Amino acid sequence: MPARFGLLVGAALGMLIGFNIARHWSSEEDLILRIEPISTPSVIIVYVTGAVERPGLYTVPSDARVAQAVELAGPRVEADLAKIPMAERLRDGQTVEVPVRQRPDVQVTPGATGEGMPSQAGPVPQEEKIDVNRATVAELERLPGVGPALAQRIVAYREEHGPFRSIEELAEVPGISARMVAEWADLVTVGSSTE
């Protein structure tokens, strides 16, 4: 009988050891199987430019639409929102270009760079030309290719250097090219100063 008892004790010990080993291996496998999948980012970064008050980079939710990014950048009055897909879902790294609404009396002619630049349809009568020595920022913004910042630079240049003596002198203002001045030849005049 002692041999049988020893055999039973040995079998019981073997089962206990086997059970503990199996439980230990099982818990390690559970750890390996608990790897979490990589989640998608909760925010993305987009660049908004064009006819907006605050162009730049914006962090938006990953499910944001173009309309949300444009709203953050503050569309200007002349922004042509009908030309962009406002309901489109944004992608990380996307650029949103907000175009300027074309005036009905303006046509687009291709420039040297291939980009269109608005120009008047025909000659403007002398009394309708913009006097660059008297014009306000708002009046200067009516010129093709002139936004609020460039109009302000024209006024600041005029205040610092005195009245313009010729239309060609406009090319001295930072941001104005000789090509732009040539396009404005029929749209502007250099009258006397208001001072």
Q: Which range in 33-42, 69-78, 118-127, 186-195 is most confidently predicted, on average pLDDT?
A: 69-78
Going by C-alpha positions, the residue among 159, 186, 185, 192 that lies closest to residue 171 is 185
Between residues 16 and 117, which one has the greater pLDDT? 16
Antiparallel, parallel or unpaired: β 130-131 and 188-189: parallel
CATH architecture for the domain at 106-189: Orthogonal Bundle (1.10)
Pure H helices in the chain = 2-33, 66-73, 137-140, 148-161, 178-184
Q: Which of 30-34, 38-42, 69-73, 111-115 has the lowest mean pLDDT?
A: 111-115
pLDDT recorded at residue 129: 87
Rounded CA separation 147/159 (Å): 19
Antiparallel, parallel or unpaired: β 43-50 and 95-98: parallel
Q: Which residues of 41-77 are buried (b: 16+ CB within 10 A; e: fewer)?
A: eeebebebebbbeebeebebeeebbbbebbebbebee
pLDDT recorded at residue 58: 94
**Torsion angles phi and psi, residue 128, rounded to 5:** -100, -10
For the chain, what are the domain ranges? 43-98, 106-189
Antiparallel, parallel or unpaired: β 95-98 and 106-110: unpaired
Mean pLDDT along residues 113-140: 65
Share of the chain above pLDDT 90, in %: 29
Quote the pTM value: 0.38
